[in-house]
Structure 1
Amino acid sequence: MVLLLGNHDAYHLRNLRPADFWQSLDENDYDFYKDLMHLPWLAKSEGLVAAHGALPFVSDLQELEHPTNDVFEKEDDFDIPIWISVTWGDLNRRVSGAQMDPLTGRPQFGKEVILQYLQKHDWNLLIRSHQPGMQGWSFSGNALTIFTSQAYVDMGRARERSIAIVDLENGVGGRDDVEVLGLDKL
């Protein structure tokens, strides 16, 4: 099982909002959950990359292997802070290239930049979350958005809670190598 750092999980690294969960914790619970900061921002395997938001869009992925506090000051190839691309980045079928959404303040990435970056790193598939309205397969079957939060299902923003199962030892050639399971079926 691979868990990734999402935008709300980084609350103690950056004062992110909304943060109802973090603010509701007493000191003992906070000490227990703060270890979430050790979750990786990116998971890579042969043919596969996974992130909470979008891709980092940096030439050297080594920068994200053991991120230090200065990674919050670094920008990607589109002049967007790397950590914002990886934790808050959204896919957008109507965008060509990359841009910041003026309403949400979140970066939006179009199909061509996603597919080019996947190809550059020899990845066939991106598995991600963060964007309940994009749930399922997109970008010619090269991007899968899954969602596990019951709160978003209850609000009607996500269709179902799901996980992706892949064989990391044998690599991922494409969407046929991914099984998507609804959490209600487990």
Structure 2
Amino acid sequence: MLSVIALLAGLAVVPLPPSGAALPLAAADAPHVGEVQALSVAADVAAPAVSHESYVATTGEQTLVAGGTNVDWAKLVLIEGDWPVTEENITFMLRWMRQENGADNWWNRNNPLNNGQGSGGGSGLGSYPTLIEAAFYAAENLQSGRYPAVDAALARGDSADATAQAIWASAWASSHYGYGTHWSSRPYDVIEAPASAWGR
């Protein structure tokens, strides 16, 4: 009897294998014997809330049309051209629009950049049904291969001045904007076009 007690006492002080360690084959294959252990958690302990959802918001055409400003139109052109919508790109677009039609009438003939492509006016004096079509054709023309330096500068999106120099050097305007002497860099105003110009 003493030998059985000594054996049990010896087993009680044998350290358990580390967590995750493989059990000897005999122990792993042995059928379960004895009571099943249970774990209870206090009622006031709550599992943390875990969210598996994520949302990314991008400005789309409907939002820009609803806004209806010159800034919205500049962003729409950038989105149509798949160029980054950076502050530098927006600033360039607004300065350019101001040179073409003036700030207070930037939507003139629904052709803010006096673009000839798709407007029915090869010299840039044509018009579009809405500013939405105007944005599409402006981006298409800039990516046509006729203005690679402008396209590349917009793709970088890091300098309104560098993109302006690219448009001055291009054939967009026969005046070349006086190579900058007829180009204003003053801050732009945010001006809304009439709803009809947007087709709404």
Computing the radius of gyration from Cα coordinates, the structure with the larger value is 2
Higher helix share: 2
Which structure has more RCO (C-alpha within 8 Å, separation ≥ 6)? 2
Would you say same fold, with TM above 0.5?
no
